[in-house]
Structure 1
Amino acid sequence: MSEFLMLGWNVAIPEVDIGDDIFVVQDDSGTLRRVQVKTSTSTVRKDGFSAQFNVSVKNLRNISNILVHYVFLVRNHDEWSKPVIIRQDYLIDHFENNQVGSEANGSITFYFSYSKGIVECSGQDFTRYVNDYTDFPKIAH
């Protein structure tokens, strides 16, 4: 939440949890972004670390007029990784067309590996989504 606030966006926590963790709003234009935050603890690997995340199939496929931005964060030792920020439609596309993630019991497990500045998910390069605040440009007040 603090990163969005530092960019000048307003942040709110919905009172009813139906899949969105936070709403991020550009007050002067009324632009609304829905955000789902997923966290995991790292597993140390030879050249880096890895983590896995579970995403509800129902929530991922529930496309509305305001797409969800998924923020994946890993706790590695005593610090957080840089966030992987990916829009819902891109994540669905990776799942359906690039065999990213595995589906079981109503959820999709995404396995991320972090090594030498590269982030991969199921062998696909996700580095372009690291710190990708493209849809959250800095707002000057």
Structure 2
Amino acid sequence: MLGWNVAIPEVDTGDDIFVVQDDNGTLRRAQVKTSTSTRRESGFSGKFNVSLKNLRNITTILVHYVFIVRHNDEWTKPVIIRQDYLLDHFEANHVGSEANGNLTFYFSYAGGRVECSGQDFTKYVKDFSDFPQLYH
């Protein structure tokens, strides 16, 4: 819908989708994480696991993590966060919990806000800033 071409890699090495801007070759990598909601006293939450090794593997083409929760038979708006930002949230703000080489993130949805480990992630909801609409 935004004018980018999407491709699914033949081999899964941590990237679920490649997104390409044809006219200039701009490439974006995406890792899609889905969860089924858990009801909470106020709102709901979704649990996601991310490989710490993959998160720390910063290359010239950053991964965009896309977190989506299935709630009441509908998908939430995606939380889209660049790899370096998510790593910074983990290292500097102690977002998520580490066990066995994985990070577990619990996103809570309530009152129009999305939080993870007490940090406001609402600004990442539908953050397509690295995927501007293209007109062909």
TM-score (norm 2): 0.99
Shift of 1:65: 0.5
Q: 1:13 is matched with which residue?
A: 8
CA RMSD of aligned residues (A): 0.5
* Equivalent in the alignment of 1:30: 25
Equivalent position SS for 1:95:
helix
In structure 1, runs of 5+ residues without a counterpart are: 1-5
Provide the C-alpha distance between the structure 2 equivalents of 1:130 and 1:28, rounded to a whole number of angstroms.
27
Once residues 17 and 125 of structure 2 are traced to their aligned partners in structure 1, the CA distance between those partners, rounded to angstroms, is 19
* Secondary structure of 1:66 counterpart: coil
Of 76, 81, 84, the residue aligned with 2:71 is 76
User: Does residue 108 of the first structure (1) align with residue 103 of the second (2)?
Assistant: yes
Moved over 4 A (4+): none
Aligned amino acid, residue 97 of structure 1:
A
Indicate the percent of aligned positions where both proteins have the same amino acid. 78
In structure 1, C-alpha distance between the alignment counterparts of 2:74 and 2:41, rounded to whole Å: 19
Verify: 1:120 aligned to 2:122, yes or no: no
CA distance in 2, matches of 1:65, 1:89: 11
Matched, 1:130 2:125: yes
